[in-house]
Amino acid sequence: MVGEGPDAAGRIALIWDESVAGDDFGPGHPLAPVRVELTVDLIRRCALLGDGVDEVLPPAFDEAGLLRLHREDFIGAVKRLSADPTAAADLEYGLGVGDNPAFTGMHGASLKVCAGSVEAARQVWEGQADHAFNPAGGLHHAMPARAAGFCIYNDPAIAVDWLLEHGAERICYLDVDVHHGDGVEVMFRDDPRVLTISLHESGRFLFPGTGAADDIGGDGARGSAANVPLHPGTTGELWLGAFDAVVEPLVRAFAPDVLVTQLGCDTHATDPLAHLALTVDDMATIYARIHRLSHEVAGGRWVAMGGGGYQLVAVVPRAWTLAFAEMTGRKLPIETPMAWQELAVERTGVTPPRAFSDDPVRTSEAMLGQARKAAEESVAAVRDLVWPHHGLGR
């Protein structure tokens, strides 16, 4: 597969542990595991598995791997609240309140997510799969000593670290979630072997409030981070324009051994926690762009994880099934299978869309003008501040 086009799919791995679905932050929390359950079920019912496309159960993750990126005292706090969620909240570590309420088994559940992302990395790096996808992963906000934004342990960063430890010399981490991929950036901001790129809604309007265009990495690795903040109302056309103008040249110049991606789909126009204006059709185009880049730049080595996305039924399963279909090179039906629609209603009470495609998004001219101006400014800033560190001219 190395060197071949993106349609020449080899073995593809879907990393999934059914037990992950039983672990969650509790009723009403936005990060509901049913969204991943419905994604995996939709992938199965769309006949994307089989003939070299395999579902893989990840082995247990060695807890010692956490200590490479997370502080021991923080891990201890997670364990304490995992054993007794009724204990007092630990505000120092971001645990037990707000975004990250404690629940029984929280430590073990978070380890399972890390296990899935490390297995995806291993499958690709060791040549067992050309592409691998862990839809339960992508918890990119966790910091070395603090949980944040629904994220306890930072599985994307742990997967990147595993790749570095096993011989990868250059890794590009590309984050298309609506929120800035802050945790991963922080963990590698001084490591020139890792280029983190994040396209996200501007921190002026959205959590975590970081990811400005002049945030370009630490003193030890200037240019190791590229951030493209976008204005509310940014459409798929504007988003893809920024991707083409910034991401493609930068990834090609960096020439990573592996492309690691976080595929948060909370950029959707209907997501309840954000304000961009993409459709699942736009997301399918994004996945195709990433797929092509993985072949043309990284020898086809593509490790993908889920991430944000809070339209649990209407968006997440369709978006990530589109991503997995892109990985496999297989066609999807025009409509989602009836049996899946019935399961979605049974599990959530919500009727999902019948089609895999969305209607166009309507955006006011005023909002569109603001979004276009902001995108142009972000692109220009990244070209001015980041490109020179990679030998690219303005």
Residue 6 reports pLDDT greater than 70: no
User: Range of 325's domain?
Assistant: 12-56+111-390
* Tens of pLDDT, residues 154-168: 999 999 999 999 999
How many domains, in total, are found in the chain? 1
With contact defined as beta carbons under 8 Å apart, do 164 and 118 qualify? Answer: no
Domain annotation covers residue 83: no
Listed residue (181, 284, 128) closest to 172, CA to CA: 181
Residue 73 reports pLDDT greater than 80: yes
Kindly report the CATH number assigned to the domain that includes residue 268. 3.40.800.20
Domain annotation covers residue 366: yes
Domain annotation covers residue 187: yes
* Tens of pLDDT, residues 346-364: 999 999 999 999 999 999 9
Give the mean pLDDT of the chain. Answer: 95
Domain annotation covers residue 85: no
Give the model's pLDDT for residue 75. 97
Tell me, what DSSP letter sits at residue 178?
Answer: S
* Tens of pLDDT, residues 88-123: 888 899 999 789 999 999 999 999 999 999 999 999
Question: Can you tell me the distance from the alpha carbon of 389 to that of 393, in angstroms, rounded to the nearest whole number?
Answer: 10
Domain annotation covers residue 1: no
Domain annotation covers residue 201: yes
Q: Tell me the C-alpha to C-alpha distance, in Å, between residue 225 and each of 108, 112, 215.
A: 31, 28, 7
Q: Which of 70, 141, 179, 231 is catalytic?
A: 141
The residues, ordered by sequence, that sit 6+ positions from 385 with a Cβ below 8 Å of its Cβ are 213, 214, 216, 223
Give the model's pLDDT for residue 2. 30
Domain annotation covers residue 333: yes
Domain annotation covers residue 158: yes
Quick check: pTM over 0.75?
yes
State yes or no: is 141 an active-site residue.
yes
9 falls in which pLDDT band (50, 70, 90)? Answer: low
DSSP reduced 3-state for 53: strand
